[in-house]
Chains A and B, each alone.
Chain A
Amino acid sequence: MPILEAKGIHKDFSGLEVLTGVDFQLAAGERFAIIGPNGAGKTTLFNILSGAFSPTRGNVLFKGEDISRKPPHLRNRLGMSRSFQITNVFKEISVFDNVLAGVRSREGLRCHYLRRPFKNRGLLERTDEILMQVGLENERDTPAHELAYGQQRALEMGITLSTAPDLILLDEPTAGMSRQETEDAVQMIRRVTESKACIIIEHDMNVVFSLADRISVLHYGVILACGLPEEIRNDQRVKDAYLGQDNQ
């Protein structure tokens, strides 16, 4: 059974048809990349998968369950977590507390009136583990807004991992990074998504080809092509539509 299935996803924003029938399946443990030109609807697709808004038509199945109308917090509790293209962290709060928010949510410690998260050794250790994974162990106490850009992207990643998801949605995780930072980020992403399902939106073809097991090309609201990296690289339609013109 696929872990995630999108069936005929349509989305229009009061007349503007952004997605016009997107179908795909994702197997457990698979790394799947979505590429496509600016404005193709990639982030919109993530918003629909993660519950930011509902599709106009079509269904999303996660672990066999139809989640098309479920709010984001319930999708997260089912084991799905997303990152944001535009860094979306808790700016005034320490890096540690940023990640702890998700770690304790995973344990159901969200709105308890008596239990204190910082007294729970297990949660603190798990949080430190995630900070190690994303390379922020030396910035534990730094407020998020004081981090350098690359570190903020790492924190974005850490928060996404904090709820221990089975499916990870990454929206342009390396956007705006230097070459070195990008290389490090790719290594890190490979490590943390090991044996997990992952969808990654990316413009950087080097990142895409070094991470993805399978690639989809989203173009004018539909999936133009879908296949192994080699197939995509050699697909004439893809070359015409995308690779030729926008390959930094």
Chain B
Amino acid sequence: MARSHNPVSRFGLWAVFVILAVLPLILRGYQLRLVTEVIIFSLYAVSYNLLLGYAGLLSFGHAMFFGTGAFAVAILLEHFAGLPLLLAVTLATAFTTATGFVVGCLLLRVKGTPFALLTLAFNALFYAIAVKWSSLTGGDDGLIIDPPQLDLWLLTLDPNKGPDFYYLSLAILGPVILFCWYFTYTAMGRTVLLMRENEDRMRFLGYNTLLARLSLFTLTAGLAGLAGSIYSLFFAFVSIDAISIETTTTVLLMTFIGGTGHFAGPILGAGVFIYLQNFLSELTENWPLIMGVLFILMVLFTPGGLVGIIKGAAQWTASRRKTPDLRKGAKNRHAHSGS
């Protein structure tokens, strides 16, 4: 359990931090934009995996929160001239969190298939509202955003500049992703995991499981909303695509490709997805088809996703090098990867 003290992972964390900090010196323009996009979608996918991988809740409606955050920040900036950037993001996240709470209350007593279907229905409802309420959302045309400059004490960041926006999103989303990682070790994070295993028993141990699920659902909605708000600032534009079923499918694919059994899975998945999408869309118009086939193959043959493959390979090499009694420890370290 004491993985956070593992010197290797601690070193790895610092290495990642340093690399991310100097990245704009190495990558320019378009390449840096891709990394920024990966960071944004990482939080979206991480928040999704807290539901899917940790709580065992398959949602087909995560885009409704991503889209709510994306639209909220755009609408706020449009209607309140002079609103500071960070305040707009904070308000958009708060609004999405509240939305998540309301939807969560309506979903309180359902799990499994009914949960999946109802989230799908809610997503469709949100989408319909966004289309109909075109005076607010811009309908099919979408909304163009003019993100204001961010004045920090000595420093002014211009969201229209690639490196500036990169640092901005890293500074906001990086700590939030780290918090999500920390969260999986907290009382609530462990509770969510135990509830997936055996919710019934939890009730007889003093846990209010309905409240716990509502609380988690609200959290993941807020996180998706934050990712969405940064997303629309990044493109300086938001359209109803942000709230569509495709955006739900995107997060589902990212999480599955990366693997639900490890915290880093969805981050890896977001990276692979975005680079692959970028690469394939340059080759052919039919890139969604190739992505679809790839996804089917992965679900069929590597249900653990990419992290599943990596873990399997690591275990295989370890078992070749040493006596095989490492297995017990390895199993426990990833207790949540279970099923």
Contact = CB atoms under 8 A, between A and B. Distances in A.
A163 B202 CA distance: 11
Contacts of B185: 116, 118
B203 A141 contact: no
Contacts of A71: 203, 208
B197 A92 contact: yes
B332 A94 contact: yes
A162 B204 CA distance: 11
Nearest to A156: B201
A111 B198 contact: no
Q: Name the prevailing secondary structure of the A interface residues.
A: loop
B249 interface: no
A91 B196 CA distance: 11
Given A73-B203, A118-B1, A93 B187 contact: no
B186 interface: yes
A37 interface: no
A92 B339 contact: yes
A163 B207 CA distance: 11
Q: Which of B187, B197, B203, B207 has the most chain A CB atoms inside 10 A of its CB?
A: B187
B204 A97 contact: no
Q: Name the prevailing secondary structure of the B interface residues.
A: helix
Given A73-B203, A88-B200, A105-B205, A111 B194 contact: no
A116 B187 contact: yes
Interface in A57-83: 71-73, 76-77, 81-82
Task: Determine the interface band of chain B, counting residues with CB < 8 A from chain A.
Answer: 20 to 34
Contact of A106 (B187, B206, B338): B206
Interface string B100-127: 0000000000000000000000000000
B268 to A, nearest CB: 23
A113 interface: yes
A109 B208 contact: no
Contacts of B191: 101, 110-111
Given A88-B201, A118-B1, A141-B329, A105 B207 contact: yes
Contacts of B186: 112-117
A115 to B, nearest CB: 6
Contact of A73 (B208, B335, B338): B208
Interface of A: 50-52, 71-73, 76-77, 81-82, 84, 88-94, 97, 101-102, 104-106, 109-118, 141-143, 159, 162-163
Interface of B: 1-2, 183, 185-188, 190-191, 193-194, 197-198, 200-209, 211-212, 215, 219, 328-329, 331-332, 335, 338-339
Given A102-B206, A117-B187, 6 more contacts: A89-B198, A104-B187, A112-B186, A114-B186, A117-B190, A162-B205
